[in-house]
Amino acid sequence: MAENLKTKITLNVELDENRVPEEISWSAPDGGVKNEPAKAILLSLWDSNKQETARIDLWTKDMPVDEMQVFFHQVLVGMTQSFHRATNDDKMTATMQDFCDYFAEKLELKER
């Protein structure tokens, strides 16, 4: 019988009096990460029973807009790569990559 392996990833969010995130940190001991600061989190989980995505989207109130734009671009690029690995759908991957390029161009991210 195979051994059940487990790992733990922890997200910590410090809120202000209005419940707005002030500080975010995360830990993943198996990956050597301990209380690493972050300015934003976009977490998506698939609920197979409901056939829908549960999401947690948080960012600190001092997250600069220019960094948020870069963050979203990098998330979109990463999702494109993950989509391709999961589906091997070259045609849709190319379409998604075109959108990522368009997104970066419109926000002038490539010049930064």
pLDDT tens track for 19-46: 999 999 999 999 999 999 999 999 999 9
Residues 76 and 39 in one domain: no
pLDDT at 4: 82
pTM of this prediction?
0.87
Residues 54 and 6 in one domain: yes
The CA distance from 31 to 26, in Å, is 11
**Residue written as tokens 């075109």?**
98
pLDDT at 110 over 90: no
pLDDT at 56: 96
The CA distance from 79 to 18, in Å, is 32
Residues 84 and 96 in one domain: yes
Q: pLDDT band at 17, cuts 50/70/90?
A: very high
In angstroms, the Cα distances linking 2 to 5, 34, 75, 88 are 9, 29, 34, 29
Question: What is the domain extent for residue 108?
Answer: 64-112
